[in-house]
Amino acid sequence: MKNILTSMLVVLACSAVIAAAAAPTKESEPAHRGKQIYDQWCVICHAAAPRMPGTASLEAKYGGSLPAALEDRTDLAPAFIKYFVRNGVLIMPSFRKTEITDADLELLVDYLKAKDQ
């Protein structure tokens, strides 16, 4: 009985150590909230990967003169991003404010490092 209790304690102690190691440290930067929104709604079409409808379409549109993946662009103006998110284009759907709130859209714009122009 004592042996069983001891091994249970050892297992518990090990789990605690593993859990502590897996937990993010306090010093680490929290992920940008805008990236979470991007990953939830946009990356499925705009990832920098083959066979992505958004990335492939923008590759064709700009012919390589601008990066095809949105996250690599530095030229995106806030109003430009907001227009496409609220109106859609080709197969890109428009996103309702119940899906992406105005506040979330600001975070998304901030994440894409858009600059006022």
Question: From the CB of 64, what's the least distance to ligand HEC, in Å?
Answer: 13
Nearer residue to ligand HEC within complex by CB, 36 or 57 = 57
Whichever of 100 and 107 has its CB closer to ligand HEC, that residue is 100
The contact set with ligand HEC (CB under 6 A) reads 41-42, 44-46, 53-54, 57-58, 61, 70, 80-81, 84-85, 89-92, 95, 100, 108
CB 28 to ligand HEC: min, Å: 26
Q: What is the closest distance, in whole angstroms, from the C-beta atom of residue 61 to ligand HEC in the complex?
A: 4
Rounded to a whole number of angstroms, the minimum distance from the CB of residue 20 to ligand HEC is: 36
* 18 vs 79, beta carbon nearer ligand HEC: 79
CA distance 32 to 48: 19
- Output the DSSP codes for the chain: -HHHHHHHHHHHHHHHHHHHHHSPPTTSPPPPHHHHHHHHHTHHHHSSSTT-HHHHHHHHHHTTSS-SSGGG-S---HHHHHHHHHH-BTTBPP--TTTS-HHHHHHHHHHTT----
